[in-house]
Every structure is written in structure tokens, then in C-alpha cells.
Amino acid sequence: MTAMQIVIVYLALLLLLSVISKKMFKGTIADYFTATHSIGPFMLLMSVFGTTMTAFALVGSTSEAYHNGTGVYGLLASLSGFVHAAVFYLIGIRVFKWGKKFGFTTQIDLFRARYDNNFIGYLLFPTLVCFIIPYLLIGLLASGTFFQQVSNKSISTELGSAIIAIVVLIYIFIGGVRGAAIANTFQTCVFMILGFVAFILISNKLGGVESAMKMVVASHPEKLVREGNQTHLIFLSYFFIPLSVAMFPHLFQHWLTAKSAKAFKLTVFAHPIFIMLVWIPCVLIGIWATSAMVGGELVVPKNSPPNTELAIMVKKLTSDSMSGLLMAGVLAAIMSSLDSQFFCLGTMFTNDILFKFIDKEKISDKAKIWYARGFIITIVVLTWLISLVVNKTRIFPLAVWSFSGFAGLSPLIFAAIYWKRSTGLGIILGVVGALFSWLYFFWDSGFGVATKYNVLGLMPVTFIVLSCVIGLVIGNIFGKRVSEEILNKFFKKEN
Amino acid sequence: MNRFNLPQKILIVIGFLLLILHYDFWNWSNGNLIFDFLPTGLAYHICYSVASGFYWLIVSFYFWPKEFDEEPS
């Protein structure tokens, strides 16, 4: 079978899986959006991990290692393993508990109820959509690039990304969030196994890991150290980036699908190990790509388009059918994030905006689902159109911009859970601080074009988080306290 | 800190230590290879990831908040 045929079979399998998951659908809006809290530990781990491992983790990390060396793993991956687990433990299980107790479907539900303030939702909704668009973009860009490579350039990047977007839309429309969780579990297994297989095959083709590394030592030893590739201040200020998971709306939705708080345990301790298993092969492939020679020629030519390093290494160093399987693995990683991101957009729109203007008792569950689908399609088309313009942008820096926005909002969820006396005005000013500082820095960087953009030598996320915290504190000084009745609802220990 | 018992306090301190140890400035310019293929900085952070997993394993099984140990719905 050719690589393209294998990818088509894989996409068809996904659609079949969604039809099977539809049989488990209970027909209610609660089941469509939260799987009626029925997701157990293993599926929760796989769907949470699959959602967080995006094009960024495979395509982006390989490309970043190619350009800036092995330091990318220590910069972000190893820290993310620790911090993500901390967020799941400190935030995730508490969000799940409140979500189950009060019937929340989205973050905005939580913030509105916690602070008894509807306006928070109207401000947070466009902010979350704004930050999720770059995240959607990297998925579409990477999938388009891979489709182009696997089809030997007979399918353009634009058509490739459109095909992937349509496949994801179909399976989430059929299966709801349970369909997304089942697809994610399958796809996470696929990309982890096939990613490891890719690593073994590529290293064998290069004569083994020692031989592959010898080529790098001979041609590009500067890729093996952080000196010249990262500054200490940038390394330290990257600390804030993994906090973004505290405010990812798609992850929030997965937390709410959990069967019980115990279901989180596996996710908490397995996450750092799983990140390592996915990132290390990609980072090594990335630096090998700088120097790997076969037949006296560089495997990845110097003028290769951005984000193509992994695709080229896989294509040139493995057989056509294996290349197809590995491409399917990468697409699996991309789609396992796109599905959750698409889905959460629809949930947020219907739950947080539409139902504030239309009485939800007066419309059927079927109509509610169609409103959600309409909004998802609108955002996906808009993001696809943006991808036509930014198709030369590297994935890693674009993803970091998205993460910076969500990280900037992370003080809000910590305040909601741990700062009893925080106020609605503090949340509003925190959102304003994070949003406007992000917009300013993003514009100042040429909309992400300046890949080494920094503010006083630090990552801009430092100041986005700071702006949010300042807004929170000012809002707390001048804002009205939440009533004791509401505080008791959220914080009083049950007998 | 008074509402935590001694093992919990030790675990919190270890957590902060792990965060601090992430900044391995002593490996910044070290381009030596371990096992002839792993750059020293990369090898250090692999160990860091394993240590993180082990730390959170201990937390998940011995320091899970009791109020969350509910029966599944």
C-alpha cells in the first residue's frame, strides 16, 4: 500500500469509530457535552494527554530542535511534565468536583456562578476564542504540511488542512465529546506507538543512535548545548508557559467528563512520563535532521520549508508504507487536539452565549446541538482562511503565543479556587489585563513573525501573567465581595 | 503550613526543590555525550521527567485529598 492509501484507510477507521461511539450516545445534551461524567481513568489519561500533545509536540518540537538544538526539551517538555501534573492535582480535581456538584459545562459557567457575575462570561468568551485560534492554526498548518508530503505534493497544504478539518468535524458531530474521547484514546495509542517506531527506523537507517549523533557532533555541535541557543532569562521565564493548561477550555471540558476524582490519579503521575516518551524521539530526530546524510546528501535540505523536517526524515528514511503509517501517527496527534478544541468552541458558544439570549427550555436538544455545530464551522473556516496567509510561520513560536494567552489567564482559576475573598471585579480586570497585554505584545512581535521576540530579555508571558495578577489585586481592593451564601455553596465542607 | 503533617510538608519542600532543580545552569555549555548519543543537558532533563513522574506517583497514592475519594457516579 502507498503512504496515501494508508492515511486514507486510517481516516476511514476514525469515522467508523465515531459511528460506533454514536451507539453509546444517550441522546441528551449532557451526554453530548460531558459524556454524563462516565470517562474512566485510562480513557481520561489518553484523552487529556492526546489533547495536550498536538502538532506542537511532534512537528513543532522536531522543527524547534532542528533550529535551536536539544535545549528545547529542558526548556518546555520536562517542566511541562511537572507543572501539568501539578495543575491537574491542584486545579483539575477541584474543577471536576464543582462541575459535578453544580452541573457546570464550561469554565465560564464556573466563573459566573463562583462570582455571581454574568458579565465575566461575555468578556472571557471572546478572550478564550482569541487565544484558541493560534492553537487551531498550528493543527491546520501541520496537517496541511503533512498531507502535502505524504501525497508527494499532489495535494496542496490548503486542501490537506481542509480535509483533516472536515474529518475531525464529522467525527465530533457524530459522536459528541464521548466520540472525541474514544477517538483520542485510539489516536494517542497510535501516535505514541508509531512515533517510537519512527524513531527506531530512522536511527537504524542512520547507522544507529551513536552514528546519527556523530554526524551532529561533526557538523553542528552547537545544537547539543543551550549556549547560543537560549538565554538564561528566557529559560527561566518559560516557567509560566505550562500554566496554560489551567485555562485550556478543551482540557477543562475533558476534566468534567471524568467518572470520579480518582480517575485523575493515573493522569497526574503518568503525564510527565508520557511527555518524555513523545518528545525525546522527536527532539533527537530534529537534531539528527541538521546533519543526517544519506548517499552524500543532506536528508533535510537547508532551504526546506518550515515544519517539514519530521515529514522529510520519515519520508526519506523509511519505506513508503511505513511512511504512511507514521504520517497517520502524526495526523493522529494533530487530530486528537483539534477535535477537543473544535468541540469546546461549540460548547462555549451554546452554553455561555446563546442560552443567555434564547430560553434553552424552548428549543430542543437537537437544535442546541446544531447551533453549536454552526459556530464550530464558522470558527474553523475563519481559522482555515487565516492559515492561507500565515503558512510560512513556524509552529513552535505560534503555539507558544497561544499558550502565553492561556497562561496569562491562569491566575484567575487559582484565585477562584484558593482565594475565597477574590471578587468578580478582580476577575474582570484580570481578563482585561491579560488580553490587552497579549494583544499588544503579539502585534509588537509582528503577529508572531519575530521568533526571538522578548520583553526586557524575558518571555512576554511573564508580563501577561503579571498584568492579570495586577488586575486581580486592584479588582479585589475596589470590588464588591461575593455573598456569604455563594461562598458557603462553594467552600463549606459537607458533613 | 500548620494544617499539613510532617510527611506532607516534606513532600511540599521536595516539590519546590524539583522546580528549582529544573534550572540546570551548570549544564548550559556542556556538549558531552552520555552513552555516546545523549547530550548531557538532555540526559539530565530525562532524569528530571522520571523524577517528576515518581514524585507525582507518591502524591497520587499517599497524599490524595480525602474529600475527593468518593465513589464513582
Separation of alpha carbons A152 and A148, rounded Å: 6
The answer to whether A99 faces chain B, any CB pair under 8 Å, is no
Alpha helices, DSSP H, located in chain B: 6-21, 40-62
Q: Cβ(A161)–Cβ(A140) under 8 Å?
A: yes
Separation of alpha carbons A473 and A176, rounded Å: 39
- Of A394, A469, A126, give the one whose Cα is nearest residue A461: A469
- Of A15, A327, A26, give the one whose Cα is nearest residue A151: A327
Separation of alpha carbons A308 and A55, rounded Å: 12
Alpha carbon of B4: minimum distance to chain A alpha carbons (Å): 15
Orientation angle between helical segments A264-291 and A78-87, nearest 10 degrees: 160
Contacts of B11 (CB under 8 A, 6+ apart): B55, B58, B59, B63
Probe site for chain A from B49, B50, B60 (most A CB atoms < 10 A): B49
What does each C-alpha distance from A211 to A80, A215, A224, A494, B44 come to in angstroms?
A: 30, 7, 15, 62, 21
Orientation angle between helical segments B6-21 and B40-62, nearest 10 degrees: 160
* Interface TM-score (ipTM) > 0.90: yes
Element containing residue A460 per DSSP (H, E) = none
Question: For residue B26, which residues of chain A lie inside 8 Å, CB to CB?
Answer: none
Cell of B47: 532524569
Question: For residue B19, which residues of chain A lie inside 8 Å, CB to CB?
Answer: 82, 239
pLDDT in tens, chain A (495 residues): 688 888 888 888 888 887 877 776 665 655 665 555 666 778 778 878 888 888 788 888 999 999 999 999 999 999 999 999 999 999 999 998 898 889 888 899 999 999 999 999 999 999 999 999 888 888 888 888 888 877 888 888 889 899 988 988 888 888 777 777 777 888 888 888 888 888 999 999 999 999 999 999 999 999 999 999 999 999 999 999 999 999 999 888 888 777 777 878 888 899 999 999 999 999 999 999 999 988 888 999 988 887 889 888 988 898 888 888 888 888 888 888 888 888 888 888 888 888 888 877 777 777 877 888 888 888 889 888 988 887 667 788 888 999 999 999 999 999 999 999 999 999 999 999 999 999 999 999 988 878 789 999 999 999 999 999 999 999 999 999 999 999 999 998 654
Q: How far apart are the first and last CA of chain A?
A: 63
Instruction: List A298's β-bridge partners, or say none.
Output: A293
The answer to whether A70 faces chain B, any CB pair under 8 Å, is yes
Summarised one tens digit per residue, pLDDT across range B21-71 is 999 999 999 999 999 999 999 999 999 999 999 999 999 988 888 776 654
Contacts of A169 (CB under 8 A, 6+ apart): A342, A376, A377, A380
CB contact (8 A) between residue B72 and residue A227 = no
Element containing residue A224 per DSSP (H, E) = none
Residues of B with CB under 8 A from a CB of A: 15, 18-19, 22-25, 27-31, 33, 36-37, 39, 41-42, 44-46, 48-50, 52-57, 59-61, 64-65, 67-73
Probe site for chain A from B3, B16, B37 (most A CB atoms < 10 A): B37
